[in-house]
Amino acid sequence: MRRSIATVCLSGTLDDKLTAAAAAGFDGIELFENDLLVSPMTPAEVRDRCAGLGLGIDLYQPFRDLDSVTEDRFARSLDRAERKFDVMAALGVDTVLVCSSVAADAVDDDDLAAEQLSALAERAGRRGMRIAYEALAWGRHVSTWDRSWRIVQRADHPALGLCLDSFHVLSREVSPDGIAGITPGKIFFLQLADAPHLSMDVLQWSRHHRLFPGQGAFDLPRFVELVLAAGYDGPLSLEVFNDVFRQSDPGRTAIDAMRSLIALEDGLTSRHRPDAPRVTAEIRRLPDPPELTGHAFTEFAVDGRSGPELRSALRGLGFAHTGQHRTKPVELWEQGAARIVLNSAVTHPGPAAISAFAVASADPGRSLARAGALLAPAHPNVREPGEAELAAITAPDGTSVFVTHPGDDWRADFLPTGAEPGPGAGLLAVDHLGLAQPFDHFDEAGLFYHSVLGLDHLATEEYAAPYGLMRSRAVANPSRTVRVALTVALLRRGDWAPAVADPQHVAFTTADIIATAAALDLPALPVPDNYYDDLIARFDLEAGFVATLARHGILYDRDPAGHELLHLYTPVFGGRVFFEIVERRPGYDRFGEPNAPVRMAAQRHRRLTATP
């Protein structure tokens, strides 16, 4: 199936958009009229430019407020349409999108709409062109797909069909199930967009909050299956209105867009429901994501200032410095199955940062092949002869994600220091990584980890924090041996107090957090007494138990099913990173999000009161 993208999805000039779409591998574009109007290229030059880039022009759009209008206005619309047909002929495109009317004086009359659309289709048909009629979700009278289909049926013209847009269909209350019964050949075009579930005006929801497939809450695989079951064989095309995308680098956005379509198409073949519509179209399939067995290591980039801080913190957590890299200034620290790597080979000194992490895969080759198919090609690490060959995928925030064998072959690159990884403070393994994301790439990151690594979305949470509204999105594998929590400040731009740029952390698991807390050689965060007083009231906990939590700076959460989490945090080290220790009691599958504001305020208080 062809893959297409509307130029409205991308930022820049028309040529910027065409170049980005072609570089990302799209077969075609939907040309948004405004992009043509502001371009210095003539329609014929646009056609030639697209041809030179290997792009077809699949749709010209939009033509507005044609149907259900007075006779004189309709006559003017037909004249306007003829001019658009001239433009389309020069562009070499045969299909135009006609939106349902939003005019305040539009007439609520399906017969009139059918009559007028038929007249337009007659003119289009004479010129070898087609009309794709779309019900806008905020249309004055025609706002649902089923009503637009009834009008198209009533018009009964071969040059008139439907354009189905997933946002306009799924944002309304009418079930999409009947789409599979549309007459084969009458769906002329398919537009795809995802979106979060929001309670707001549908026009504002559409104009500002659409997302690429897999980044929102719509069931797009089922929607596409229904369209394909109706015999649709045209392009899978993206039409996404999003304020961030339209300000971002078009090349990067186009890659994100293509990745979403590749993952969506693959998702159609991996659904095994008895009620799934029968799809006969040829679907391209990706290599299945292999099982991930755990976090192999987490690497921090450190310099001469942050390195000593991180070393001291790791000792305080009970880690042992067990290995030194054969050829690089890289140290291996271990406790239980938790491995931390400190890399001092930084070229731009600054705050410590999680520069890389590794996951163990049952089939690293297949993991990397899947990543490459999703436009995230692996790049080999710089190594000396005889050193382990590791391949890394670059995540949207620049973090390198290595994929290793479960056997930890990479550890052979480290010479033993003589220190053994003993029980330390009782830390067992990495529970999850917490990675704050750049504002503009939060949704891209969620799609990356879900599609490339095969991690499932667990939940998206929002909470008010001391420095603004925060959003957290968690992903994990089915066995929960690999978890990543992505966070972003929704309205934050630039750096300001608390002067921590995109904080990151590693969370370790323990079987007994109270014993671990007692064994730590690190200062506890100053969690306020007010928090613990509230715990007693909110969860009806015993005062003695809460006093023990308070003594060690341990936070508490309980989910609606009664499953519990106990966790504590360290101060921030190296300017940016901190650690978390968690005891998940059976059944708890969240990340203690209600306690994040407490942690942020406590870390801020610690920095303000720490002795220089």
Model confidence at 532, in pLDDT bands (50, 70, 90)?
Answer: very high
Q: Which pLDDT value is given to residue 467?
A: 72
CB-side neighbour CA atoms (13 Å) of 307: 15
pLDDT digits (tens, 9 = 90+) for 193-244: 999 888 888 888 888 889 999 999 999 999 999 999 999 999 999 999 988 8
When pLDDT is averaged across residues 565-575 and rounded to a whole number, the result is 93
User: In DSSP terms, which residues pair with 414 in a beta bridge?
Assistant: 325
Whether residue 494 is predicted with pLDDT greater than 50 in this model: the reply is: no
When pLDDT is averaged across residues 166-193 and rounded to a whole number, the result is 96
Residue 575, classed as helix, strand or coil, is coil
For the chain, the farthest-separated pair of C-alpha atoms sits apart, in whole angstroms, at: 91
- In this prediction the pTM is 0.91
pLDDT digits (tens, 9 = 90+) for 89-112: 999 999 999 999 998 888 899 999
When pLDDT is averaged across residues 408-422 and rounded to a whole number, the result is 90
Q: Are 340 and 319 in contact (CB under 8 A)?
A: yes
Give the least confident one: 42-56, 206-220, 405-419, 456-470.
Answer: 456-470
Q: Which pLDDT value is given to residue 271?
A: 57
- CA–chain centroid gap for 208, Å, is 16
Q: Which pLDDT value is given to residue 439?
A: 82
**C-alpha distance across the termini of the chain, in Å:** 62
When pLDDT is averaged across residues 132-161 and rounded to a whole number, the result is 96
Whether residue 612 is predicted with pLDDT greater than 60 in this model: the reply is: no
Q: In angstroms, rounded to a whole number, what is the distance separating the alpha carbons of residues 299 and 239?
A: 38
Q: Are 13 and 39 in contact (CB under 8 A)?
A: yes
Whether residue 495 is predicted with pLDDT greater than 50 in this model: the reply is: no
Residue ranges of alpha helices (H) inside 540-589 are 543-552
Q: Characterise 525 by phi-psi region: left (phi > 0), alpha (psi -120 to 50), beta (else).
A: beta
Whether residue 313 is predicted with pLDDT greater than 70 in this model: the reply is: yes
Q: Which pLDDT value is given to residue 496?
A: 42
Q: What DSSP letter does each residue of 40-101 carry, written as one string? A: SS-HHHHHHHHHHHT-EEEEEEEE-S-SS--HHHHHHHHHHHHHHHHHHHHHT--EEEEEPP
Q: In angstroms, rounded to a whole number, what is the distance separating the alpha carbons of residues 401 and 395?
A: 7
Give the least confident one: 37-51, 247-261, 347-361.
Answer: 347-361
Q: Which pLDDT value is given to residue 497?
A: 45
Q: Which pLDDT value is given to residue 534?
A: 94
The CA-based angle 424-429-432, given to 5 degrees, is 130
Whether residue 347 is predicted with pLDDT greater than 80 in this model: the reply is: no
pLDDT digits (tens, 9 = 90+) for 268-301: 875 555 666 666 667 788 888 999 999 999 999 9
Percent of the chain residues topping a pLDDT of 70: 95
Whether residue 492 is predicted with pLDDT greater than 80 in this model: the reply is: no
What is the residue-averaged pLDDT of the chain?
91
Query: What's the CA dihedral at 272, 163, 116, 85 to 10 degrees?
Result: -150
> Using DSSP, how many helices (H) and how many strands (E) does the chain show?
17, 25
